[in-house]
Amino acid sequence: MRYRLTVNRKLREVEAEPDTPLLWVLRDGLNLTGTKYGCGVGACGACTVLDGGKAARSCQIPVELAAGRRITTIEGLSSDGGHPCQRAWLEEDVAQCGYCQSGMILEAAALLAAKRRPTDEEIDAAFADHVCRCGTWQRVRRAVHSTSRLASKGATPSEGRQ
Amino acid sequence: MSASRRDFLKLTGLAGAGLVVRVPFLAAATPADPGAEPFAPNQWLRVGSDGRVTLVVARTEMGQGVRTALSMILADELEADWASVSVEQASTGPLYTDMNTGGSDSVESSWVELRRAAASARTMLVAAAARRWNVGVESCRAACGSVVHVPTGRRLSYGSLAAAAARLPVPKEPALKDPKDFRIVGKPVRRVDGPAIVTGKARYGLDTRVPGMLFAAVARCPVAGGKLARFDAAKAKSVPGVVRVVEVSTGVAVVARSTWSALSGREALDVAWDEGGNAGLTTAELVRRIDAAAVSGKPHVSRREGDVEKALAGAAVRMTATYRDGFQAHASVEPQNAIARVSSGACEIWAPTQNPQRVQREAARLLGIAPEKVTVHVTLVGGGFGRRLGADYAVEAADVARAAGAPVQVVWSRKDDFEHDWLHPAGRADLEAGLDGSGRIVAWKHRFASLHLSMFGAFDPESVDQPDVDPWGGYDTPYAVPNLLAEWIAVESPIRTGAWRSVEYPANVFARESFLDEIAHRTGRDPLDLRRELLTGSFPWASKRVDRSQLAAVLDLAASKAGWGKHLPDRPGRRSGRGVACNVYHGRTLLAHVAEVSVGAGGDVRVHRIVTAADCGQVVNPLGVQGQVESGVAWGLSYALKGGIAIEKGRVAQASFRDFPALGIAEMPRVEVYTVPGSNRPTGFGEQPVPPVAPAVANAIFAATGRRARSLPIRPADLAS
């Protein structure tokens, strides 16, 4: 089957079986490997993308349901790594192995788009279903707070900046 | 000593002198890639005519920050401009014969070699500049990617000198910088892979692509030791995208044009297993075998001082306690995967591996070709933790690629990753102490029993007779006790067991540090004071001795920063306490944690703060050290407080992160790290923070509740008021 979906502000056409998770369409079909496979059952958050601005687990969205939606992956969050979340992630040196971090950054972008100044509890709730075996949590929290400070200085942590 | 045991020692880098193979410093000019750059004085670095400095890293980056730390060492000693340094990952080949990344020794083992390599290059660049100006080298100085002629202020960039430097002889004994002149080493530096990671450009094993490659999922018998009974490929082949279904030595591979087709094809595959003799195996049965060995097995003595039995017989008080830990998975977020391309007597493998030479060796054996015909490319690794010291998944890719007749990426699902992990085995430590009339410890006995680590080969009773190296945390106890006995018993493992971030240390340090706490409370002493009393003189480790006062200093630093002995904040409805624990990792890094915890009425444990102090010689990157402590604390807390792995019907019962919960963001305590200043050779930091976490928490729980946790993971039900 052929499906049309908007990925990183571009209309893309992909050939896939209807039950193929968006995750594999992105990775194998569109070569957007920044979206990671961690569990395939929506339990780790590594495959998080923005679906119309909201964080979504791409392993849980069959491509037939993704058709017509606006999807943003880590590659499309900014053209140059300049999204406030990405800058904060670098500034706080959050990543260790880094594998789960694209999902976390997109989760943070969605959280901050909905909530300009999230509390620790709100951050914990947003990241409750993410897994990071390197234990980068202290820095994740710090990076979300510092993005929120960056944002209040003018930048907007919203979906897909060009 | 058997080959497998020797491999293990080598792999974990613990053996001290003699056993760890090091790549010798090459004094001769051996360009890594002749022609590409004008100046490549050795296999570690190149300087381009554009001034770019390339560091070739022969270790695996898996989050521990090795690329960053080695770049810092190189840039500092070379006097390079930090912005001009980039990293290139080495592949197996004649120049890189030991790329093993385990035992937390990459920085330590590279320290001298890399500095010498960089100092040689710097000396040659300075000489090239002096020649060009026709001045003496002593009037020239290297600084930030240039050579400066001090009297005149003239300056030549490294790029403009590279070609000339390449024609000069490589100095045999280049002068190294004085550590007081370090300008990058010792400063906080952010991870060099950071920009690639935050933009999604970083390529892990699973992201690697090779022209014409297919994808495969392999159906494997879920029971260790079982084998394929029969399969019918028809249903799998009817799944769109499936190209071939082939039998391989680990099971049946479904090869397809996409990952999803491969996974779906495997789901549809009609396959049956002969589960063999382990089909009835349970955790309880494995623990029963460990218990039987602990009680009546013949132990191997690893350290004996004085006469423990006599001292115990004459002791005023005898104390005994048994401590246990459970099976654990690595559960790195990137599941196992590898790409292989097999063609006419040669093989290329791309894998997120910690031990490419092992992959090379084992793939060569499988394919019946010489090891040098196998080239292994190391990708970024999405979490290693010891799991990827095993070569199984990469060798499997070679097997599938050969059978499929095409380059193939074998992808493990999360369930595969749990089911065929090399688990951290359950263990049991029996401790016994004798105290004299004044409460002084006069005898200390530590016996550890666990499963052998099948990752390193079949069980060989002869191979375990290593008098001086097991159990880690038992034989190398830092405490001075006049009569001391450390023993261990390995039980043949019927399941897959292996190295897991700090291996035997967590179980044995948990036992040792908890038992010491029990003695302190029994004799009415402060646990910190008791440790200080026992930290005088030195203890042996391999061919050297470790000064116990260094550990005492580390404990004091942690205690003072944590406010040891001071009042804890009130937390309504919760009981609060502090606990301390420490360890010396293979005679190298000395580290202590103070944990601050509270326990609710239902027994739920919250760890609020961990204060860590360490002596690891020269700190290369404080930001990296801080990160490794945060990481080790999270790892240690998952081990101490969260789920684990159960064996049921011969197989791993956990299939996803839902039933193997790891420490989450809401449970992460505040972590503070302090290091003792030092300019000695840097010692490792990847595994070192893990072992003292569980006992620091257990000791804090006792301080809070009066309940002693002797079994990990600690369950709330055991602590309910």
Cα(B184)–Cα(B77) distance, rounded to whole angstroms?
Answer: 9
What is the band of A151 on the pLDDT scale with cuts at 50, 70, 90? confident
Q: What confidence score (pLDDT) does residue B575 get?
A: 97
A90 contacts in chain B (CB < 8 Å): 190, 194-195, 198
Cα(B21)–Cα(A162) distance, rounded to whole angstroms?
Answer: 50
Nearest Cβ partner for A101 among B197, B207, B630: B197
Cα(B305)–Cα(B588) distance, rounded to whole angstroms?
Answer: 22
* pTM (whole model) above 0.80: yes
Cβ atoms within 10 Å of B494's Cβ, excluding its own: 21
Q: What confidence score (pLDDT) does residue B463 get?
A: 62
Helix (H) or strand (E) holding B108: helix B106-133
Cβ pair B582, B555 in contact under 8 A: yes
Chain A 18-57, residues with CB within 8 Å of chain B CB atoms: 19-21, 24, 27-29, 31-41, 43-44, 46
Cα(B287)–Cα(B427) distance, rounded to whole angstroms?
Answer: 8
**Total number of residues shown for chain B:** 721
What is the band of A149 on the pLDDT scale with cuts at 50, 70, 90? confident
The residue among B721, B673, B676, B675 whose CA lies nearest residue B701 is B721
Q: Residue B323 contacts by C-beta under 8 Å, 6 or more apart in sequence?
A: B428, B429, B431, B507, B510, B511, B514, B515, B710, B711
B601 burial via Cβ count (<10 Å: 0-12, 13-18, 19+)? exposed
β-pair type (B214-219, B590-599): unpaired
CA B677 vs CA B73, B100, B557, B614, B680: distances in Å: 18, 29, 12, 9, 9
Cα(B538)–Cα(B547) distance, rounded to whole angstroms?
Answer: 4
Query: Cis ω on the peptide bond leading into residue B713 (within 30° of 0)?
Result: yes
Q: What angle do CA B286, B292, B294 make, to 5 degrees?
A: 105
Cβ pair B436, B280 in contact under 8 A: no
Amino acid at B23: V
Cα(B127)–Cα(B135) distance, rounded to whole angstroms?
Answer: 9
CA of A128 to nearest chain B CA: how many angstroms apart? 7
The residue among B484, B483, B439 whose CA lies nearest residue B317 is B439
Tokens of B690: 């893990």
Q: What are the backbone dihedrals phi and psi of residue B57, each rounded to the nearest 5 degrees, phi first?
A: -100, 120
Q: What confidence score (pLDDT) does residue B468 get?
A: 60
The residue among B323, B690, B287 whose CA lies nearest residue B500 is B690
CA of B365 to nearest chain A CA: how many angstroms apart? 31
ipTM for the predicted complex: 0.96
For the stretch B413-435, what's the b/e string if a residue is b when 16 or more beta carbons lie within 10 angstroms of its beta carbon? bbbbbbbbbbbbbbbbbbbbbbb
Residue of A nearest to B633 (CA): A135
Contact check, Cβ <8 Å, A43/B670: no
The residue among A135, A46, A20 whose CA lies nearest residue B690 is A135
Q: What angle do CA A10, A11, A17 make, to 5 degrees?
A: 125
The residue among A75, A90, A47 whose CA lies nearest residue A162 is A75
Q: What end-to-end distance do the CA atoms of chain B give, in Å?
A: 51
HSE of B132 in the Cβ direction (CA atoms, 13 Å)?
23
Cα(B688)–Cα(B509) distance, rounded to whole angstroms?
Answer: 11
Collapsed DSSP state (helix, strand, coil) of residue B541 = strand
Q: Residue B557 contacts by C-beta under 8 Å, 6 or more apart in sequence?
A: B592, B613, B674, B676
Contact check, Cβ <8 Å, A137/B332: no
Q: What are the backbone dihedrals phi and psi of residue B551, each rounded to the nearest 5 degrees, phi first?
A: -70, -35
B258 contacts in chain A (CB < 8 Å): 16, 20, 24, 28-29
Distance of CA B604 to the CA centre of its chain: 30
Cβ atoms within 10 Å of B669's Cβ, excluding its own: 22
Collapsed DSSP state (helix, strand, coil) of residue A23 = helix
Angle at which helix B622-641 crosses helix B505-522, to 10 degrees, equals: 80
Cα(B453)–Cα(B466) distance, rounded to whole angstroms?
Answer: 15
Contact check, Cβ <8 Å, A134/B63: yes
Sheet holding B53-57, edge to edge: B39-42, B45-47, B53-57, B85-89
pLDDT tens profile B218-271: 999 999 999 999 999 999 999 999 999 999 999 999 999 999 999 999 999 999
Helix (H) or strand (E) holding B40: strand B39-42
β-pair type (B242-248, B227-232): unpaired
Contact check, Cβ <8 Å, A24/B202: no
pLDDT tens profile B21-73: 222 333 333 434 444 567 888 889 999 999 999 999 999 999 999 999 999 99
For the stretch B364-390, what's the b/e string if a residue is b when 16 or more beta carbons lie within 10 angstroms of its beta carbon? bebbebeeeebbbbbbbbbbbbbbbbb
- Across the range A112-119, mean pLDDT stands at 96
Q: What confidence score (pLDDT) does residue B466 get?
A: 53
CA B232 vs CA A60, B254, B265, B416: distances in Å: 29, 12, 12, 21
Rg (CA), chain A: 15
Q: What is the maximum span of chain A, computed from C-alpha positions, in angstroms? A: 46
The residue among B112, B470, B155 whose CA lies nearest residue B301 is B470
Contact check, Cβ <8 Å, B194/A89: yes
Residue of A nearest to B207 (CA): A33
Average pLDDT per run of 10 along chain B, which is 721 residues long? 35 27 31 59 92 95 97 98 96 92 91 95 97 98 98 97 95 94 97 97 98 98 97 98 98 98 98 97 98 94 95 98 98 98 96 98 98 98 98 98 98 98 98 97 97 92 62 96 96 96 97 98 98 96 92 98 96 97 96 98 97 97 98 98 96 97 97 93 95 98 97 94 80
Q: What confidence score (pLDDT) does residue B69 get?
A: 97
β-pair type (B214-219, B408-411): parallel
The residue among B198, B187, B192 whose CA lies nearest residue B68 is B192
Place of tokens 């003072």: B560
Residue of A nearest to B411 (CA): A37
Alpha helices in B563-645 (DSSP H): 622-641
Contact check, Cβ <8 Å, B665/A130: yes
Cα(A136)–Cα(B540) distance, rounded to whole angstroms?
Answer: 36
Helix (H) or strand (E) holding B419: helix B414-419
- CA torsion angle for B384, B386, B392, B395 (degrees, to 10)? 60
Tokens of B342: 């097999």
CA of B416 to nearest chain A CA: how many angstroms apart? 10
- CA torsion angle for B199, B204, B210, B212 (degrees, to 10)? -90
CA B18 vs CA B8, B15, B59, B98, B646: distances in Å: 14, 7, 20, 15, 39
Cβ pair B294, B390 in contact under 8 A: no
